[in-house]
Structure 1
Amino acid sequence: MTADIIPIRSNGDDAPPTIEPMLQLTASGMNAVNTVILDRMQSEIPLIPRLAGHLISGGGKRLRPMLTLAGAELVGYQGSRHHKLAAAVEFIHTATLLHDDVVDGSEMRRGKAAANIIFGNPATVLVGDFLFSRAFELMTEDGSLRVLKILSNASAVIAEGEVAQLSAQRKLETSEERYLDIIGAKTAALFAAASRISAVVAECDDSHERALDDYGRNLGVAFQLVDDAIDYDSDAAEMGKDQGDDFREGKMTLPVILAYARGNEDERAFWKDAIGGHRASDADLAHAITLIGRHNALEDTRTRARHFARRAIDAISIFPDSKARQAMAEAALFAVARGY
């Protein structure tokens, strides 16, 4: 099979990329997925659905389960197994967000108070555990050991990535290569698994499985690169979290890695204090943003994101042209063009 060349939009195109084609493609399937989510987040313990619902109904893009549904459309799958599996993907993602907010001490998530601020750390961690358990129930109900292996492995890799990020926190020596390894685990692993399982339930061959895995993995890296750029490039109303969270938490994201590497002696001294936790005021954040801008670290971060988006689009070029393929390509372009 000869791969098609899928064009990348040029900067001269009038219409910006949008997630709308992906939303339209998966609208019907997402209704079924949402039904599963609402059903499986219920419990006789009232706090569980209250806390889970606080985040699940909080306006997230639901991009990961959409990848499962879009992948199913791409490969022509006609069944319904992917609905429960997409719900499992969303539960895994939601559980990791709940745990992340506790670890990071976050105050905002998706534009409102984080669950840990409202319900406390112990309840937030335990409800995250509950959602992980629900995810594994859905996987076992599907009955495919291959699906179970892919999603369970992704869950383990995500946890490893989060621990690796924690280990790299406040360490200026973190390299770009190490950073890419971390986001490849903590973010891209679930994007890849969510995409790949569509090919598994459709009983596609290995090449199509790998193509969907590559699409999701590269999209996930691009998505996280842009997230990390936005923390220094947008206000809290757009992001749904406090600007500068990464800065104050001492996270070595790519904008900081690049600005530090390119900085002079005085700038490096500032970064040493800031990432070490000794410079965390609003004025310090403003200075950090100035230094990042001075060294083009945001634009270079977005340039790298565009590279991974192109790789994602290229990965699905082995499939025939279709609305699904076009929507998935558009989603990759949107992921790197967004400001939130």
Structure 2
Amino acid sequence: MIDVPPFLSKPSRKDFLRGAAIAALLPLLPRISRAEAERIGVLEIAPGIFVHVGKYQLVNETNRGDISNPCCIVGSSAVAVIDTSGSFAMGSDLHTAILQITDKPIRYVINTHMHPDHVMGNAAFQAAGTEFVGHYKLPAALYARKESYLTNARERLGEASFKGTEIIPPTVLVKDGLELDLGNRVLTLKARPTAHTDNDLTIFDHPTGTFFLGDLLFSGHIPTLDGSIVGWIKLMPELMQEKADRAVPGHGPKSMPWPDAILPVQRYLTVLATDVRGMIKEGKTIEDAVATAGQSERGKWALFDEHHPRNVTAAFTELEWE
């Protein structure tokens, strides 16, 4: 039990407790040099939190599905992994890196949502005592897409990287919120309403104030829409109320200042929704929208041509029924 000075205000008490939690945790965490972390493909962004930064590319045989940002969080008694990259090969590399960081058991593998570049490495973490954690809608989403995900992955990755890749559904479901204790380190998981997908999950690390958003946060890489543009825009102000010291995007740099990090995503989706609504009002077709809606965002995002047309199609299909 930590004694908090009675004269501290409520925000100061929170900072005091966070500082005390970090102080208690630090002696129990692994020590790894920056050079060694880079050598094994991860970067420490806060005490005991490591991120592998994926590439701004489409999945292919050369990158082996290495296009998202898997993470691991080390507590005094256990480890949680957040997302596992896009293939068994990449998941195995991540697992090997974690074993070089700590000898603590990997107790939880948390998937932020259903997309293959975040879940296809899960099989590399199957072990006794490891729980797979996800949004309560994640099992149905994975089941519905299982065959197409595996077929596409095999074609894009090639046999060598695809070998061993499986769809591993969650064994622990989050319907509202859930707390996971890693030993002197508590993570708060929240199931979010339909936005990027219908199974988005966020994770907050209390000792360091680190907010993991999965693909609710993109940076540089254009956001991809597979849920509800209305829901995503509506959710962002709520996310921005989270008092965090840093945020980890699903695609982008290792960490970002919060809440400023999400402002470009908010701008992109708002521009897209505004343009599409205007075209629907004018009686334009979905083909017209794909050709012109959101083009003011061209040049501001990597992979614009690869993903933007699909975003327009999804937005038009949703918004024409408003």
Instruction: Name the TM-score class by shorter chain.
Output: 0.3 to 0.5
TM value normalised by structure 2: 0.32
Greater RCO (Cα-Cα under 8 Å, separation 6 or more): 1
Greater fraction helix: 1
TM-score (norm 1): 0.31
